[in-house]
Amino acid sequence: MSNIRIGMIGYKFMGKAHSNAYRAMPMFFPNVTRPQMTAICGRDAAGLEQARSQFGWESAETDWRKLVERDDIDVVDINAPSDAHKEIAIAAAKAGKHIFCEKPLALNLADSIEMLNAAEKAGVKHMVGFNYRFAPAVQLAKKLIQEGRLGKIYHFRGFFLQDWIVDPEFPLVWRLQKDIAGSGAHGDLGAHVIDMARFLVGEFNEVIGMSETFVKERPLLTATTGGLTAKADKEAPKGEVTVDDATLFLARFANGALGSIEATRFAQGHRCTNSFEINGSKGSIKFDFERVNELQVFFADDEGDVQGFRRVLATDAAHAYSQNWWPPGHTIGYEHTFTHEMVEFMNAIAEDRQPVPNFADGVECQAVLEAVDKSIEERRWVAISELR
Ligand code: SOE
């Protein structure tokens, strides 16, 4: 197959991560159909041109509608803020383009279903950006569970902890506004944990949660940088924070396992602690993204005198994707998870099949997010089936 021509919308944090993935692929995954970095799109012409030349895109568009209509684009890669996902994805599907969309798929469940329907109707390939699935250590976790080496799964304990908004003077960036982001820690971080739980343990049956917005007003953003490292301007007028700072919930899975999930941006000292522990009848595993190359593994049938958690460094030929990078023990990082997800996307397009996770997974994740919100509002357990 000839190159797969990409048109990417958004050029900030995720735009950089995706661009890096496309660039790394021909060098480290030479057997995968090449992504061609055909066009990058954003509204600010100067910022866009800087990104275009820095990241290595061939051309630029300031209007996403023009990008979507271009004949020389096969894939629309959406990493604009969440409120833009639905309109762009539906237009891309109508134009017959394959779609990659960052998480959370949409602002709410109804929108995510519309996106899935549009993509299915158009018969295009679609993928959602749950990149943490593609850490080799997480792939190992999946393999151990699939092979039955942990036995029957009893517990999933997952948390995603960050601390970038603990300062009450941190400005009201888009991630703190419900109309743009959909939700706060819940949709931004909890979505990753929900996806991880679905990937490793299976479907959710019912949930009950609680959430809090610790800082209810923040200075409006005056600077042009509105990312995780935005600077406070104490003189700026304040605006209302309309999303959760932290959301925690309990869950029952369809296979009988019990889950607890926590997402917060108020955990001092935790910069990106995306972590889980799974306990089964034959063993346990533990993962912490800040040690992305490692999986802690415990097997109950080890001899008693050497029983204990062992650290498996998932960088050997036995581990997913590892052979494409460096010799064993030469570790990889955050950006590699995006390269792996794009490898999966390119392979799926070349082989004419749907990639995983796709928009259907995005919808399921959105249903769990919304069931938790409903449980908080109504102060009761909510079955996922109530929303679907
Ligand atoms: C910010 O909280 C953020 O960048 C999320 O938006 C990402 O999805 C997560 O991977 C890391 O943290």
Tokens linked to 28 = 């480290």
Asked whether 163 and 265 are in contact (CB, 8 A), the reply is yes
pLDDT tens-digit readout, 53-63: 999 999 999 99
- Cα of 272 from ligand 1 centre, angstroms: 8
Quote the pLDDT of residue 226.
67
| Residue 164 Cα: closest atom of ligand 1 | 2
| For the chain, the helix, strand and coil percentages under 3-state DSSP, each to the nearest 5 | 40, 25, 35
Residues of the chain with pLDDT below 50 are none
Asked whether 91 and 23 are in contact (CB, 8 A), the reply is no
| Residue 228 Cα: closest atom of ligand 1 | 1
* Beta strand spans in the chain (E): 4-9, 35-41, 59-61, 75-78, 98-102, 126-129, 153-161, 204-212, 217-219, 238-240, 246-253, 258-264, 273-280, 283-288, 294-299, 310-313, 382-383
Query: Which residue has the CA at smallest separation from atom 9 of ligand 1?
Result: 189
Tokens linked to 144 = 């151990």
Domains of the chain, with CATH numbers? 4-132 (3.40.50.720), 133-354+366-377 (3.30.360.10)
Q: Using a cut of 0.95, tell me whether the model's pTM lies above it.
A: yes
Quote the pLDDT of residue 224.
62
Tokens linked to 79 = 């990493």
Rounded distance, CA 204 to CA 253, Å?
Answer: 4
Quote the pLDDT of residue 330.
98
Instruction: Determine if ligand 1 sits within 6 Å of the CB of residue 228.
Output: yes
Instruction: Determine if ligand 1 sits within 6 Å of the CB of residue 102.
Output: no
Query: Which residue has the CA at smallest separation from atom 6 of ligand 1?
Result: 188
Quote the pLDDT of residue 369.
98
Please report the ipTM that was assigned to this predicted complex: 0.96
Tokens linked to 178 = 């419900």
Amino acid at 66: K
Instruction: Determine if ligand 1 sits within 6 Å of the CB of residue 162.
Output: yes
Rounded distance, CA 74 to CA 93, Å?
Answer: 11
pLDDT tens-digit readout, 277-329: 999 999 999 999 999 999 999 999 999 999 999 999 999 999 999 999 999 99
